[in-house]
Amino acid sequence: MSCPICNGITEQKFRPFCSKRCADQDLAKWLNGSYAIPSTAPEDIENALEEAQKTEASTPGISSVQH
Ligand SMILES: [Zn+2]
């Protein structure tokens, strides 16, 4: 298993990443995607947040990924 960000060797502590830096990068990428909103209207932001939470709830947690 290698780091999905830089293909480095996975560090057990940060798996599936090699470092906190890469984990943060992936999280930022994920957040940017989830929070990509078409406008700055408050309702849209709330909808985006709700969608993000739904996605989070239905996606296996990154930190609890098992082999
Ligand atoms: Zn990495």
Rounded distance from Cα 16 to ligand 1 centre (Å): 9
Query: Within 10 A of 3 (CB to CB), how many other CB atoms are there?
Result: 21
For residue 45, is it within any domain? yes
pLDDT tens-digit map of 48-65: 788 888 877 666 666 665
Structure tokens at 4: 């999905």
For residue 2, is it within any domain? no
For residue 6, is it within any domain? no
**Predicted TM-score of the model (pTM):** 0.47
pLDDT of 40 higher than 80:
no
pLDDT tens-digit map of 4-18: 999 999 999 999 999
Domain that holds residue 24: 12-58
Rounded distance from Cα 46 to ligand 1 centre (Å): 32
Q: What is the DSSP letter of 67?
A: -
For residue 19, is it within any domain? yes
Number of domains in the chain: 1
- Nearest-angstrom CA–CA distance, 16 and 63: 9
CA–chain centroid gap for 16, Å, is 12
For residue 64, is it within any domain? no
For residue 4, is it within any domain? no
Rounded distance from Cα 15 to ligand 1 centre (Å): 9
For residue 66, is it within any domain? no
